[in-house]
Amino acid sequence: MIDARIPWWREPAAVGPEPATGDRGGPSVEPHQRVGFAFWALMGFTFVLLLAPQERFPVLAPLRIAMLTALLAMAAHVFSRLSRGLSMMAFTAPTKILLCLVGWALITAPFSYWPGGSVTFLLENFSKTVIVFILLANVVDSRGKLQRISWGLVLMSVPLAATTIQNFMSGISLQTGDRVVGYSSGLTANPNDMALMLNLILPLCVALLLASSRAGTRILLASIACLLTVAIVATFSRAGFLTLMVTGLTYFWLYRNRAERVWIPVIVALALLALPIMPSGYVERISTIVNIEDDSTHSAETRLSDMKAAARLTVANPLVGAGIGMNVLALNEVRGETWTAVHNVYLQYLVELGLPGLGLFLLLYVSCLRATGTVLRALQANRSDGLFHIAEGLRVSLIAFAVAALFHPIAYHFYFYSIAGLAIAAAAVCAAEQPVQALQRAGLARHETVLS
């Protein structure tokens, strides 16, 4: 029973592990459990971030609803924790690594190609991403919340994918005329970014499908997975294709000795049957991955040239870098003024923050991957557990990002940090239900500081 004396903005005190009473032992979403205002504000921010209602309804634009929902989530979460005598956030090892990365960006800002620009980028761009990571890692602290936000992301991906397919069928393309326009939001307007977003959400869709025992739910999720796959193809994104292939191969490897392996021949057969109905020119575009001289847009050659220029910059300045957000200025000096960023996350960190910056990012990535691995090992005996499937989906998303990062200039954007935050949240939920010794050794248990 909910204590009526608990204010609406307060998170109810946990009295024990949340029971796993959902589908096939999956995350439970119990109607009597109060989720908390901070979580719903975070869900609202995610909705605004992905679907950008202000683009559809310009009257919302002056309200800056993305910033408003993020601030509400942050304020509600901080107030709830402080009112319970806790520190503002739980300091897991990945969170500490991220804060070290932010600190390094701040330390190196005076040595930047444009110090003021680096400070502005850090405060106005990267700081928002960091806040979202911290909110996800802290606010999503139960099975129910983890399931809700996973469902939210999957359902929000439907209009993204549907719009992409509709634009493709209608011939609505970019100004260059050769690629479809994505969804009208900052994260998915570009077809490459759209393919990336859908590739990261697809494993969560698979996770929810596997965690459900209801036929109707499974059919719905299978349909959404097919929709996302078709939309990824419609973007004609070579990086999207490679990421999708890596996702598929990862699942084949994971399921090779499991009951789910019965789906492998079915998926392979469907893929082969789909080959004759691929969009015109798709196979030719994908073939330019290995035959870059056949690319009429010369984009592959340009990006390869930029990567070589970035490597030369790193050799010249391996420690400090060009300053956060300044890889474009640095590359202009080396290869001429094209005002384009290097399309590689690892080279972005290397050029802008030097070897220490790249090292911290890789350490953060590995720690998030380890977080999902810790959950999978803890629940190895109960693979039907919904938390197991969600952690596995997040792990596949992280692996997919590692490949996509080779082709995207998104080092400080929400794509990776959203999945990473959920990975840390999944580890924390597992830590609340399992003996925490192993998680503490891995640095993944939440360290709560009680304020005196």
| DSSP string across 29-83 | --TTS---HHHHHHHHHHHHHHH-HHHH-GGGGGG-HHHHHHHHHHHHHHHHHHH
**Residue 411, phi then psi, degrees to nearest 5:** -60, -35
- Whether 23 shows a pLDDT value over 70: the answer reads no
0.85 surpassed by pTM: yes
Calculate mean pLDDT across residues 190-202: 97
Can you give the pLDDT at residue 273? 82
- The model's pLDDT over 371-428, given as tens digits with 9 standing for 90+, comes to 999 999 999 888 888 999 999 999 999 999 999 999 999 999 999 999 999 999 999 9
Of the ranges 19-28, 108-117, 167-176, which is most confident? Answer: 108-117
Q: Among 251-265, 288-302, 399-413, whose mean pLDDT is lowest?
A: 288-302
pLDDT surpasses 80 at 178:
no
The C-alpha atoms of residue 299 and residue 190 are separated, in whole angstroms, by 15
Q: Give me 148's structure tokens.
A: 């809700």
Q: Is 217 among the domain residues? A: yes
Rounded distance, CA 360 to CA 355, Å? Answer: 9
Q: How many domains does the chain have?
A: 1
Residue 208 contacts residue 151 (beta carbons within 8 Å): yes
**Is 80 exceeded by the pLDDT of residue 296?**
no
**pLDDT of 335 over the 50 cut:** yes
Please report which confidence band the pLDDT of residue 11 belongs to, taking 50, 70 and 90 as the band edges: very low
Mean pLDDT for the stretch of residues 25-49: 73
Kindly tell me the burial class for residue 176, based on how many C-beta atoms sit within 10 Å of its own C-beta (0-12, 13-18, 19 or more). Answer: exposed
Its domain, for residue 65, covers 35-283+301-441
Is 448 part of a structural domain of the chain? no
What is the CB neighbour count within 10 angstroms for residue 178? 14
pLDDT the model gives residue 82: 87
With respect to residue 22, please indicate whether it lies within any of the assigned structural domains: no
Residue 451 lies in a domain: no
Q: What CA–CA distance (Å, rounded) separates 102 from 280?
A: 45
Query: Which of 133, 143, 38 is closest to 80 using CA atoms?
Result: 38
Query: Average per-residue pLDDT in the chain?
Result: 86
- Least confident window among 18-32, 249-263, 285-299, 343-357: 18-32
Would residue 12 count as lying in a domain? no
pLDDT band at 174 (very low <50, low <70, confident <90, very high): confident
Q: How far is CA 361 from CA 105, 121, 226, 351, 396, in A?
A: 12, 17, 33, 13, 18
Query: Residue 14: inside a domain, yes or no?
Result: no
Q: Would you state the pLDDT for residue 292? A: 73
Residue given tokens 């999944």 in the structure block: 426
Beta pairing partners, 450: 86
Lowest mean pLDDT among 159-173, 201-215, 233-247, 302-316: 302-316
Mean pLDDT of 183-187: 88
Which amino acid appears at position 266 of this protein?
A: V
The C-alpha atoms of residue 47 and residue 156 are separated, in whole angstroms, by 7
pLDDT at 53: 94
Residue 322 has what pLDDT? 94
pLDDT attached to residue 29: 43
Say if residue 24's pLDDT is above 50: no
Element (H, E) at 219: helix 215-234
**How far is it, in rounded angstroms, from Cα 367 to Cα 344?**
21
Half-sphere exposure of 409 (CA within 13 A, CB side): 17
Amino acid, res. 183 = Y
d(CA 346, CA 363): 12
Could you tell me the pLDDT band of residue 444, with boundaries at 50, 70 and 90?
low
Q: What is the mean pLDDT of residues 4-18?
A: 43
Give the SS3 label for residue 180.
Answer: strand
CA separation for the pair 84, 9 (Å, rounded): 12
> Among 102-106, 171-175, 185-189, 400-404, where is mean pLDDT lowest?
171-175
With contact defined as beta carbons under 8 Å apart, do 50 and 57 qualify?
no
Domain-embedded: residue 194:
yes
Best mean pLDDT range from 249-263, 276-290, 399-413: 399-413
293: in domain: no
